[in-house]
Amino acid sequence: MSTRDPSSWHASMSSTLWHHHSHRPTDDPSPLAPLARKYHTHCWGDDFSTNGLAFFHKHEALVLEEAGRGSSGLLEFRAGDGWVPLCTCLGVEVPEVPFPRNDDWAEYKKKVNAEANAVDEA
């Protein structure tokens, strides 16, 4: 199970997926728009600020319950843990390359921050 600090997750989601969804026009022509609307409605009742953290905790509890906490088949993995726990769980050698760190939303976050700064300066 990939996990992270709930506050960090909430901040990241607020500035990426939720921000994108909540600023998207209602007549968005994207073929993924209906799926995104269903996702945000199903997960947090289309109110991430109020319900996002509760969903995070509920989801993790459900996964742990289904897998059986402490089960040898479940790895509670944080990307910052690096290769060792992941490779140990999978029974493979640890690569001799750095663990990848990629944030596909980095450019979006830069754009949002630039827009916020422009508003603050106006």
Answer positive or negative: Cα dihedral of 29, 106, 19, 48: positive
How many angstroms separate the CA atoms of 1 and 53, rounded? 17
Cα Dmax for the chain: 56
pLDDT digits (tens, 9 = 90+) for 17-38: 888 888 887 788 888 888 988 9
Helices and strands in the chain, H and E counts: 6, 0
Token pair for 77? 């993995």
Mean pLDDT score, 32-52: 92
Sequence-separated (6 or more) residues with CB below 8 Å from residue 38 = none
How many angstroms separate the CA atoms of 43 and 97, rounded? 36
Single pTM value for the model: 0.72
Find out whether 61 and 69 touch, Cβ atoms under 8 Å: no
Count other C-beta atoms under 10 Å from residue 44's C-beta: 19
**pLDDT value, residue 107:** 72
81 vs 8, 55, 93, CA distance in Å? 16, 24, 16
Whether the pLDDT of residue 1 is over 80: the answer is yes
**pLDDT value, residue 53:** 97
